[in-house]
Amino acid sequence: MLKGKHIILGITGGIAAYKSVVLLRLFVKAGAEIQVVITPSGKEFITPVTLSALSGKPVISEFFTANTGQWNSHVDIGLWADAMVIAPATASTIGKMANGIADNMLVTTYLSAKAPVFVAPAMDLDMMAHPTTTRNIEQLRADGCHIIEPGTGELASHLTGKGRMAEPEDILAEIERFFYNNKSLEGKKILITAGPTVERIDPVRFISNFSTGKMGYALADEASRRGAEVTIVSGPVDISPSERNIKVINVESARDMLSECEKAFPDCDIAVMCAAVADYAPKETAEKKIKRENSDRMQIELVKNPDISATLGRLKKENQLLIGFALETDNETENALRKIKNKNLDLIVLNSLNDEGAGFGKDTNKITIITAKDDIQSFPTKSKREVAVDILDFIETKLHPQ
Ligand code: C5P
C-alpha cells in the first residue's frame, strides 16, 4: 500500500529505537523508499550500519558527512518526503520540535518538511505525564503533527505506565490509513459506550470493574479516521481519543450512561456497546461516608442496573445497527447467540477470558465475531487498534450500514 512512497524515518535516542528496525523492515516490505535520519544520541542505541543495510541508503545524522565533507541538505530531504515518521520520539526531540530548536539534522529536516509528520512518543511514564511533555505534544498537534499515542505497559525502567512506543505494526497501519484515505464511514453517526461504570456506595466508595476503555476508544479512533461522526459515552477512564473530532460525554453510573445513550441513539446509524456496565448498583447512595460499625458484617442492598444495549435494542429502527460485546468464561458461542437475541443485536464481539492476551487492561485482544445470522469469524490475537480495524471492516462488508 505504500508502494513508491518516500518516507523519512526519524530515530531519536530512546530504548525503543530497537523497534525502529522492525518498523523500517515493515516500511520496506510495504514498498516504501526510506531515508533514515538519526540523532547523535539515537546512534548510541542502534547502529547506522543496520539501518543503511535495511533501507538501502546511507543513514543521515550530521549536517556534513565527515570524510567527504558533503553537505546533507535538510531542505532537499524535506521536499523529497511524502511523509516523515519520528519513532521513537523522545521528550527532548519533542521539546525541540515544539520550540524550533534546530540543533541537529533531524529537527532541521522536520522544520523543512512539507509532508505530513507522524510522531510516536516513547519515554518513561513520569516524563510522559510531565506537564512540559503534555504541553509540547499539544503544541505539535496544534502545528499539524499526527501523534501516534504510546501504549501502557512495562517500560524500560521496569516501571509500568504510559510511555511505550506504539508497536511498529500499529505505526505502519496508521501511515497506510493516512495514504489509503479510507473515508468509508463518511456521513455516518456512531455512538460508542466505553470504559467501566462506577456505582457509588457513599461519597468515597464505589462498585466498579477493571475496564480501561481501550477497546472502545480504539474503535472510536478508527471510525473517526474513516470519516464517521463519533460520540463516546464513557465511564471514568484514564485515556482520551487520539482523533480530534470525537465527542466524549463523560458519565459515572449505568443510569447516567443509559440516559446519554437514549438521547444520542435516535440520531445514530451504528451503536457499539463496548462499556463494561456494572450489573448491579447500591439501592441507595449514602450521603455521608458510612462509618465502620462494631458488627463484623455489613450488607449493601444492590439493585439491577438497566441493560443499556437491550434498551437500545428495543428502540432500534430498521436502518440502525446495534453491536454488543461479550466477555465470557464458558459456553461462549451459545451465550453470545442468546445475547444477540435477547438484546436485539445485529452482531456481537466475543472476547474470551480463556484466551491469553484478551480482556481488561491489555493492549491486545482476541475476538470472535458472531452475527444475528449465525455468521462466525475468529481472529488471531492482535493489538486493540488492529482489532478495531477488523471489527469495522466486518461491519462494513457484512452488515452494509445504510
Ligand atoms: O449481558 P452482558 O453484560 O454480558 O452483555 C454485554 C453487552 O451488553 C456489552 O455490549 C455491554 O456493553 C452491554 N451491556 C449494557 N448494559 C448493561 C450490561 C451490559 O449495555 N447493563
Instruction: For the chain, 402 residues long, give each residue's pLDDT as a single digit of tens.
Output: 788 999 999 999 999 999 999 999 999 999 999 999 999 999 999 999 999 999 999 999 888 776 777 777 777 888 899 999 999 999 999 999 999 999 999 999 999 998 999 999 999 999 999 999 999 999 999 888 999 999 888 888 788 888 999 999 989 988 988 887 778 999 999 999 999 999 999 999 999 999 999 999 999 999 998 999 999 999 999 999 888 789 999 999 999 999 999 999 999 999 999 999 999 999 999 999 999 888 889 999 999 999 999 999 999 999 999 999 998 888 888 999 999 999 999 999 998 766 666 666 677 889 999 999 888 999 988 888 889 989 999 999 888 888
CB of 232 closer than 8 Å to CB of 224: no
CB of 191 closer than 8 Å to CB of 268: yes
Query: Can you tell me which atom of ligand 1 is nearest the CA of 305?
Result: 21
**Could you give phi then psi for residue 269, rounded to 5 degrees?**
-90, -35
In angstroms, rounded to a whole number, what is the distance separating the alpha carbons of residues 262 and 258?
6
CA distances from 172 to 8, 30, 228 (A): 13, 9, 22
Cα 245 to ligand 1 centre (Å): 26
- Determine the pLDDT at residue 160: 83
Cα 154 to ligand 1 centre (Å): 30
Cα 339 to ligand 1 centre (Å): 9
Measured from the Cβ of residue 336, the count of other Cβ atoms closer than 10 Å reads 23
What is the chain's alpha carbon radius of gyration, rounded to the nearest angstrom?
24
Instruction: Identify the residues whose C-beta falls under 6 Å from ligand 1.
Output: 193, 254, 273-275, 277, 305, 307-309, 324-326, 339
In angstroms, rounded to a whole number, what is the distance separating the alpha carbons of residues 392 and 280?
31
C-alpha cell at 142: 496544534
User: Which residue lies with its CA nearest to atom 4 of ligand 1?
Assistant: 326
Provide the terminal-to-terminal Cα distance of the chain, rounded to the nearest Å. Answer: 28
Catalytic residue among 209, 294, 305, 344, which? 209
User: Which residue lies with its CA nearest to atom 6 of ligand 1?
Assistant: 326
Place of cell 475468529: 378
Cα 343 to ligand 1 centre (Å): 9
Active site residue 209: yes
- Determine the pLDDT at residue 330: 85
- Dihedral angle computed from the Cα positions of residues 174, 179, 182 and 187, in that order, rounded to the nearest 10 degrees: 100
Cα 216 to ligand 1 centre (Å): 13
Query: Can you tell me which atom of ligand 1 is nearest the CA of 309?
Result: 20
Q: Is the pTM of this model over 0.95?
A: no
Q: Is 395 in a helix, a strand, or coil?
A: helix
Place of cell 464513557: 234
Helix, strand, coil: what percent of the chain each, to 5? 35, 25, 40
CB of 159 closer than 8 Å to CB of 125: yes
In angstroms, rounded to a whole number, what is the distance separating the alpha carbons of residues 60 and 35?
8
CB of 278 closer than 8 Å to CB of 196: yes
Q: Which of 308, 338, 353, 391 to mutate to test the pocket of ligand 1 (most atoms within 8 A of CB)?
A: 308
- Determine the pLDDT at residue 359: 65
In angstroms, rounded to a whole number, what is the distance separating the alpha carbons of residues 102 and 46?
22
Could you write out the DSSP letters of every residue in 260-320?
HHHHHGGG-SEEEE--B--SEEESS--SSPPPPPSSS-----EEEPP-HHHHHHHH--TT-
Enter the DSSP assignment of 58: P
C-alpha cell at 252: 459515572
Side by side, which strands form the sheet with 6-11?
A: 33-38, 6-11, 83-89, 117-121, 146-147
In angstroms, rounded to a whole number, what is the distance separating the alpha carbons of residues 51 and 43?
10
